[in-house]
């Protein structure tokens, strides 16, 4: 008693020969390219994080009296 018909065995052999090489590939699928929008968002997030961890006192943006230009109080009474 035969389990498969002769035409069916040919179909199974062809199916196996075409699918096994695809299943044997071990290379990682490359990640999709980063879009411009995602790149800008990442740059802004990095800049915000850098601003948070930056030292609060920066000598190059203060005057001789230690005040920043926007912290000056007007001398007018």
- pLDDT surpassing 50 at residue 1: no
Burial class, 39, CB count within 10 angstroms (exposed 0-12 / middle 13-18 / buried 19+): exposed
* Distance, CA of 77 to CA of 69 (rounded, Å): 19
pLDDT tens string 16-27 = 888 888 777 777
pLDDT tens-digit series, residues 40-73 = 999 999 998 988 877 666 666 677 777 777 776 6
Residue 35 banded pLDDT, cuts 50, 70, 90: very high
> How many C-beta atoms surround the C-beta of residue 62 within 10 A?
13
Supply the pTM of this predicted model: 0.36
pLDDT at 57: 61
């Amino acid at each position: 008693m035969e389990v498969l018909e002769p035409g069916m065995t040919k179909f199974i052999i062809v199916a196996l020969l075409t699918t096994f090489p695809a299943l044997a590939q071990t290379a990682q699928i490359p990640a999709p390219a980063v879009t411009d929008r995602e790149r800008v968002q990442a740059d802004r997030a990095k800049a915000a994080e850098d601003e948070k961890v930056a030292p609060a006192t920066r000598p190059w943006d203060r005057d001789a009296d230690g005040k920043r230009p926007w912290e000056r109080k007007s001398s007018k009474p």
